[in-house]
Chains A and B, each alone.
Chain A
């Protein structure tokens, strides 16, 4: 039923640079779509435009075929007629109303009979496990509790689309984890279309069915989370999604650059002229003596080993591959980070052999766009 479609939507505030530029985005019905991007990239603006609180300077927005905004055709449906729910980053509860009255507000507006209203309020509060606070005022609740009330307030009116603006950013780590699970459960139960804004890639990865990555007001990629992770559309997405971030190796004069160029020359010589940089995820770098023949193999000296409990993050600096005996002062070759899930025996200064399987090299061209790679052809050793 209600796909949310944004067509060529642009928005600029006053004379400043555009907050959103030519955004084309379809949020599939029933999806849990996450708008992901660094702070200031236009996520909130996009969300508010969908809600009707900001007005695009160009383009059109429609939900389920119903046009809500069309600058060209002069159509505008005000927020109060859009039947959406929006949870604000700072909750925006009404301080003069009790929790129950806050939740009841939307139902009163819809002139629902009192009996039914009370029932719905109770349901919504129970669903968010905040029914015990029904008679309190928002100021008497903690941030996490206000968050639940603010969700309950929107759930009560059963909106077609639920919009959430960084709903977890003001919560502490423990609560955040709980609310993530809760939101996912909520989505599974109601099947509502949810659009969720965050700058935290982990949040996007863990919760969303679809991720739309934005940067400087421009859509970078819209795909399933694992797709975004595995096949980032460009350097920005590659670098933004994943923690620790992807290693980006310029094909320049650096040691790793030279190393990886040699590897590409061996495997995909036809692509080499187009490649400007190569991305390698930290968890794709293995410390291993042996492996498949088409692996990119390089010698490296260990900089630091940082155990995190479940894994080890290791910084390594490639030494020259041709002359393994040469000592490896850190002379400008960028350090690479790798994540290992097995105990790293090596200590600072040790020499190790690193391997990256050919499929794990992300190639980016001069503009930073991903270079599609057909499955690598078998290479003779």
Chain B
């Protein structure tokens, strides 16, 4: 009997010992609470959306032929096999893949060649180009779409025609709307990804490898083709998949440019399902988007792992290597500047011009006006009967944006650091691993799918958690969760760099937990904390695809206000609002870099 009792008593002792350790060290408790909350916020929405996909929704009882709440395959049938499935799913799927491939190509060609120019050649204005070429990513993604319409729009859709039409040049539908413009616009927005990732990899590649090839007699272009490009493969595949993943969840551009010709992508199809209260269908589409998103990330990690045999970056031979371009130097510089002009100057200029001209494209004295900005009253615009800067709408939206994004960014920054703290302090334990994984989970799910999932979860009251739909709190939570992977990753790396010793030294000196956090951790981590707040703030300001699903007329943000104006076909005012966002987010990005000296690349999460 005692032989049995002995180990049991010891297990009890061990448990008691553990408990008294945990009581003294809040880290474990903190970590456990974090895991639980995050697990709920990340996993529960996905479960909710999946269960919605398999249950008859209210209002669908007749169509599904079953009582609400009963299990059904009706939505699966509707999305994949029914007469409307072409429209609901298959066409959008094909379109999404088409656009994604096209965008990836554009981004790769533009970003890759620019990266090579800037980091490997003696192109002129290198300093300027290396910053300027990233600017398109600082603009909201659908800026380009609105600029495109302002240039190429024909009279097919309502609202004002574009500048070319105004000049008497007829623009065909395929040029004005649909696949071509969507691809180009998104390509212009996303090439900075490739530019940055590629530039990094090119700079860090071991130039001795290239030199060896040159010594063996290979020409410059042979080296590029046979040595450099293959070595860049990991960066390449990463960039491609990253861009692909983003396309999956992007909403603004396909909405603006696709809607007039009914060219839908999965994201816009999901949006209309949600808007039409087809919760079951929306859930199925969300599921598909999540699956594709997960697949993309898994393939990426798989490829990266397989390609670790290519790890040749770093090392002694890694140095700035710039080959002279010779006679091509100035043409190449021109090309670089040309990309900047096309991707930044022209769109911004066009948008700005449309907001100050009555008839687009006519630059005569009498045609200029500031009424779209400041008029007290605008005729023929019942939905928004005043200049953008008049009335309360812009300011309310701006206030909402700043408030929501601000709170979310603050929480993100603190949460990221907390996660980093717990991961490092409990390093090697199961808790540390779980926390790492949970915070990474949202990375697998495109933002728009997350928003739809949150809608499923919080549309009704569940247990103690109230229905949050339409509240600002829901927007804050969604923004936090979708940014969590980036925040926690940078929090973890900041805390890793610090290590646990500085805190332990304080502990040995007699400092309690709060004192340590206040006097040691926070002061040392001030810089990373500032960056950890500012980066999500900047990206949150431009966020559209996530918030568009969850805002109601009561909770308008800057981005949704602009899309609203597009819906009303008040293109000048929509353009004006996008300009405001662009200016604010550009300034915020610039400030962030100045304040925290972080590179933009870390904000891309690339």
Contact = CB atoms under 8 A, between A and B. Distances in A.
Contacts of B25: 78
Contacts of B430: 14
Nearest to A84: B508
A341 interface: no
Contacts of B18: 55
A33 B507 CA distance: 23
Interface in B475-527: 499, 501-502, 504-512, 515, 519-520, 523-524
Contact of A80 (B20, B21, B512, B520): B512
Interface stretch (A85-93, A194-202, A204-212): A85-93
B20 A74 contact: yes
A76 B28 CA distance: 15
Nearest to B427: A13
B461 interface: no
Contacts of B515: 109
A157 B510 contact: yes
A92 B17 contact: no
Interface string B428-471: 11100000000000000000000000000000000000000000
Contact of B509 (A13, A96, A109): A109
A312 interface: no
A244 B467 CA distance: 76
B19 interface: yes
Nearest to A102: B505
A96 B527 CA distance: 12
Interface in A11-50: 13-14
B501 A92 contact: yes
A78 B516 CA distance: 14
Contact of A94 (B14, B507, B520): B520
A105 B501 contact: no
B24 interface: yes
A13 B508 contact: no
B403 interface: no
Nearest to B515: A109
A116 interface: no
Contacts of A84: 508
Q: Interface residues of B: mostly helix, strand, loop or mixed?
A: helix
B428 A92 contact: no
Nearest to A88: B501
Interface stretch (A65-73, A235-243, A246-254, A347-355): A65-73
Contact of A92 (B10, B15, B505, B519): B505
B103 to A, nearest CB: 44
Contacts of A75: 17, 20
A110 interface: yes
Contacts of B523: 96
B605 interface: no
A51 interface: yes
A92 B508 CA distance: 12
Contact of B429 (A14, A83, A94, A105): A14
Contacts of B520: 94
A189 to B, nearest CB: 22
Contacts of B511: 80, 105-106, 109
A96 B19 CA distance: 34
A157 B509 contact: yes
A161 to B, nearest CB: 11
Interface in A234-278: none
A116 B26 CA distance: 33
A15 to B, nearest CB: 10
Interface in B519-554: 519-520, 523-524
Nearest to B506: A105
Contact of A105 (B13, B15, B509): B509
B17 A110 contact: no
A106 B430 CA distance: 33
B16 interface: yes
Q: How large is the interface on A (under 10, 10 to 19, 20 to 34, 35 or more residues)?
A: 35 or more
A155 B581 CA distance: 57
Contacts of A78: 24-25, 507
Contacts of A2: none
Contacts of A110: 510
A96 B504 contact: no
Nearest to B25: A78
A73 B20 CA distance: 10
Nearest to A86: B508
A86 B19 contact: no
Contacts of A79: 504, 507-508
Contacts of B16: 73-74
A153 interface: yes
Contact of A86 (B15, B428, B505): B505
Contacts of A93: 502, 505
Nearest to B500: A53
A223 B426 CA distance: 36
A71 B501 contact: no
B21 A76 contact: yes
B151 to A, nearest CB: 53
A96 B523 CA distance: 7
Nearest to B16: A74
Given A13-B428, A88-B501, A92-B502, A80 B508 contact: yes
A13 to B, nearest CB: 6
Interface in B406-443: 428-430
Contacts of A55: 17-18, 21
A95 interface: yes
Given A53-B504, A153-B509, A71 B428 contact: no
Contacts of B504: 51, 53, 79, 86, 88, 92
A288 B196 CA distance: 75
A95 B15 CA distance: 37
Contacts of A14: 428-430
A111 B24 CA distance: 21
Which of B14, B16, B506, B510 counts the most chain A CB atoms within 10 A? Answer: B510
Interface string A141-161: 000000000000110010000
Question: What 10 pairs between A and B have smallest CB-CB spacing?
Answer: A74-B16, A92-B501, A106-B509, A78-B24, A72-B13, A76-B20, A92-B505, A109-B510, A71-B17, A86-B508
20 contacts: A14-B430, A53-B507, A55-B18, A74-B16, A74-B17, A74-B20, A75-B20, A79-B508, A80-B510, A80-B512, A85-B508, A86-B504, A90-B501, A92-B502, A92-B505, A93-B502, A96-B524, A105-B511, A105-B519, A157-B510
Interface of B: 10, 13-21, 24-25, 428-430, 499, 501-502, 504-512, 515, 519-520, 523-524
Given A74-B13, A79-B507, 4 more contacts: A51-B504, A71-B13, A78-B25, A154-B509
